[in-house]
Amino acid sequence: MREPRLRPRRPMASLTQEERNLLRILCAPIPTLGEQISRLAWAVESLWQRHIGQRELHRRLDALRDVVQAGMPQEHSAPEYAEAGLQRLAEATAQQANTVDFRPRPDGGSPLRLAAMTPPCQTEVGMRFRKVHGAANDFVLVAEPDPGQQWTGLAQALCARRTGIGADGLVTSTLVSTEPAVLEVACYNADGSVATMCGNALRCAARCAQEDFGLQEMTLVMAGVKHEAIVRDGEVRVTAEVGVVEMRRLQAVHCGRLLWFDSAYTGTDHVVAVVEDVDAIDAEAFGRLVRHHTDLAPVGANVSFIQSVGRQELKIRTYERGVEAETASCGSGAVAAVVIATTRGLVAPRQVTVHNRAGTPLTVHPHAERPGKAYWISGPVTTAYEGVWA
C-alpha cells in the first residue's frame, strides 16, 4: 500500500489575505439558535427601516400636512385649487391690466405727450442708462426707452459681466401717466428671458421715477400686474402678489439627505427649502440642479434655501432662473420665503427680516388690506452710476 504523500503544511502567517478570509468563512462556527434569531431580527429591522420606515415617515408627514391643511381655508386642499389659483391670478391680472388707464387724458396729457416730455433714452452718442441695485441685485435701467427696441439680445449684451455693463437684469421704465402716477416697467433676465415679476427691479424703477419725476407714490405695471410703490425715508417698498402655494412640491437629495422644496408663486415661480445652515449649501451648484428638476419642467423656477435665525428673521440664498447663478438678493424670493416660513410656522404673519448674501436685509410684511394675498418688500436702492451705451 502506498503511503499517502502529505504536503508540508504552510504556516498561517504565510497565507495570503484572501486565503485567510476564505478560511474564516469556511471555518466559521455554526451560529447558535440565539444568534440566528438575532440576525433575523436585524435583517427585519433594517428592511423595516429602509422600506416600511420610509413609508411610515411619509404617512406621518401626510398626516401632518392634513393637520396644517385642516387649519387652511377649505378650498386650499381641493385638487382643483392649483388650477383655480392660476385661473384667479390670470383673471386678476387681466382685470388689473384693464384698470390701468392708457387712454389719452382729457387735459391733453396723453401717454405719448408724456413720453415726449420726459428725457428720451436715445442721445446722439447712444442709449442712456443707469446702473442701479436693490440690495446688490443689480440692473441696467433704461428710462423712457425707444418703443421699437428689441430687448432680448440687447439685455444679454448689456448684462454680460465681462463684455457688457454687467448686471443680473435689464429694466425698462416708461411713464404712462402722472395723475395717477403710473409707469410701465419691464424686466429682462441676464439671459434675455422676460421676468414676469422682479421685486428689486420694481424697487429700482420706483427710485428712478422719484429721481426723474419727483414721484413718491406710484403704480408700477409689470407683465400686466399692478404693483404699488412708495419711496420714503431712504427706503423703497413695492407690493408683490401671492398666487398658488404648494407644500412639498418636490424632493431632492442633498448630501445623502432628502430635502423637500415647497413652492410659492409670487408673480414668478419660486421653490424654497428649509435647511439647517444656508452657508453649508452650495447654492449655485445645487440650486442649478433643482432649477432643472424634471418636476419643474419646462419653465423651471428660482430656487431658495432658507434658515430660521431668530424670531421673525430668516437667512436666504437664492439661485435665479434667467440669471442662471446665485444672486445677492431677490425680492420676490424673499416674499416666497416668508410665505413658506409662515405656512411652516417658522415665523408669525407679521414683518420678517430676510438676511441675504448682500448683507443688506430686505423686510417683508403682509399688506394690511390683503393679508396672505399681497406683501410689501422694503429695502434700500442705490444708483451706482450713469452712462451711455454707444
Ligand X SMILES: N[C@H](CCC[C@H](N)C(=O)O)C(=O)O
Residues designated catalytic: 198, 330
137 annotated among ligand-binding-site residues:
yes
Minimum CB distance to ligand X, residue 273 (Å): 17
Minimum CB distance to ligand X, residue 358 (Å): 11
263 versus 268: smaller Cβ distance to ligand X: 268
Region near ligand X per CB under 6 A, out of 20-28, 64-72, 142-150, 317-325: 317-325
- The residues near 180 (Cβ < 8 Å, ≥ 6 apart) are 218, 219
206 versus 323: smaller Cβ distance to ligand X: 323
Query: In whole angstroms, what is the distance from residue 88 CA to residue 115 CA?
Result: 33
- DSSP conformation letters of 52-100: IHHHHHHHHHHHHHHHHHHTS-GGGGSTTHHHHHHHHHHHHHHHHHHHS
Q: Which one of residues 85, 111, 331, 379 is an interface residue with ligand X (CB under 6 A)?
A: 331
Q: Which one of residues 222, 320, 340, 381 is an interface residue with ligand X (CB under 6 A)?
A: 320
The radius of gyration computed from the CA coordinates of the chain, to the nearest angstrom, equals: 30
377 sits in the region (left: phi over 0; alpha: psi -120 to 50; else beta) called: beta
Q: Which one of residues 174, 189, 307, 378 is an interface residue with ligand X (CB under 6 A)?
A: 189
379 sits in which H/E element: strand 374-379
Minimum CB distance to ligand X, residue 153 (Å): 17
Region near ligand X per CB under 6 A, out of 33-41, 56-64, 71-79, 324-332: 324-332
Query: In whole angstroms, what is the distance from residue 239 CA to residue 335 CA?
Result: 10
Minimum CB distance to ligand X, residue 196 (Å): 7
If you search the block for the grid coordinates 503544511, which residue do you land on? Answer: 9
Query: In whole angstroms, what is the distance from residue 182 CA to residue 105 CA?
Result: 13
312 versus 332: smaller Cβ distance to ligand X: 332
Binding flag, residue 322, ligand X (CB under 6 A): yes
Binding flag, residue 200, ligand X (CB under 6 A): yes
Minimum CB distance to ligand X, residue 359 (Å): 16
Query: In whole angstroms, what is the distance from residue 203 CA to residue 135 CA?
Result: 10
Query: In whole angstroms, what is the distance from residue 139 CA to residue 171 CA?
Result: 7
122 versus 196: smaller Cβ distance to ligand X: 196
Binding flag, residue 302, ligand X (CB under 6 A): yes
Question: What distance, in Å, lies between the first and last C-alpha atoms of the chain?
Answer: 110
What binding mask, one character per residue, do residues 262-281 give for ligand X by CB under 6 A, x or -? ------x-------------
Binding flag, residue 156, ligand X (CB under 6 A): no
Q: Which residues pair with 248 in a beta bridge?
A: none
Q: Which chain residues interact with ligand X by CB under 6 A?
A: 137, 189, 195, 198-200, 268, 302, 320-323, 327, 330-333
Please state the residue numbers annotated as binding site for substrate. Answer: 137, 189, 199-200, 302, 320-321, 331-332
